[in-house]
Structure 1
Amino acid sequence: MILRISGTDEWAADRERGEVRPDSLATVGFVHCADPGSVHLPANLLCSGRTDLLLLVVDPTGLPVKWEPGEPEHPTGVWFPHVYAPIPVGSVVRVLDYAPGDDGRFRPPTTI
C-alpha cells in the first residue's frame, strides 16, 4: 500500500470527481505519494500547522507507479512512490485521520 496526504476538502472533491487528480499531475506529471515509513517527511515539510489532513491508503495494483527521489531530494536519500496518472477513488481502500502530535510534528502512522 502507498499513502497520499490529502486535505478533507480535497478528498471530498476527489470523491465527487471519481479520481485523485491534484495540480501536481498537470505541473510535474505525477501524484505525490509516500510509504508508511516516510509519509511524515513531506507532511512536516509541506503541511506544518494543518489539522485537516487525511491519509488515503492506496492499493497501487494496476497504477503506473515509479519510486523516485523526492523533490527536493531528502537528505536521507529516501525515495517516494509517484503515480503517473489520476488515482481512481476505487483504489483508495481506507482513509485515516492524520493529525500532528502535541509538538506539532507529524509521525509515521501506527496502523494502515
Structure 2
Amino acid sequence: MAGDLTDPRTPILHIAERTQWEASRDSGRPYEVSTRGRTLAEEGFIHASRDEDQVRGVRRAFYADLDDLVLLVIDPAGLDVRHEPVGDDVFPHIYGPIPPEAVIEVRALPENR
C-alpha cells in the first residue's frame, strides 16, 4: 500500500500497542496515543505512516523491543491530516483524536515476536 499524498482518501497507517488500541475501541472513546510513551495532548498530533515501508522504519527505530503491536489502517476522511517533512521524508500527522470508526482495519505486525 503506497500512500498517495495527492489523494485524501488514501488510508494512512499507525503503529499502536494492542492494549491501548483495544481500550479505546472497547470504550468507544477516540484513540489519543501519538507514539510510544506520548499522548496526543503531549505531542500535538498523532504520528502516522503513508505506507508499509515507512511503517517498517518506524517499527525498527521506535518499537523494536515491543511485540504486542497492531497496525491501524485509518480512513483519513474527516480527520485533520497534514503531510509534513521529517528529516528527508514526509509523514502524515493527524491533528486530533482518531474516532474508532475511522479505523477500517487492524492488522498484526508480521515483525512481532
Unaligned ranges ≥5, structure 1: 105-112
Unaligned ranges ≥5, structure 2: 1-10
Aligned pairs (5 A) from 1:64-103: 64-70=80-86, 73=87, 77-100=88-111
Aligned pairs (5 A) from 1:1-112: 1-15=11-25, 16-22=27-33, 23-36=38-51, 37-70=53-86, 73=87, 77-100=88-111
Using the TM superposition, give the Cα deviation of residue 17 of structure 1 relative to its aligned residue in structure 2, in angstroms.
4.3
Which stretches of structure 1, 4 residues or more, deviate above 4 A after TM superposition? Answer: none
Distance 1:61 1:39 in 2: 21
- Percent of residue pairs bearing the same amino acid type: 34
The residue that corresponds to 2:4 in the other structure is none
RMSD of aligned Cα (Å): 1.6
Using the TM superposition, give the Cα deviation of residue 51 of structure 1 relative to its aligned residue in structure 2, in angstroms.
1.4
Count of residue pairs the alignment pairs up: 97
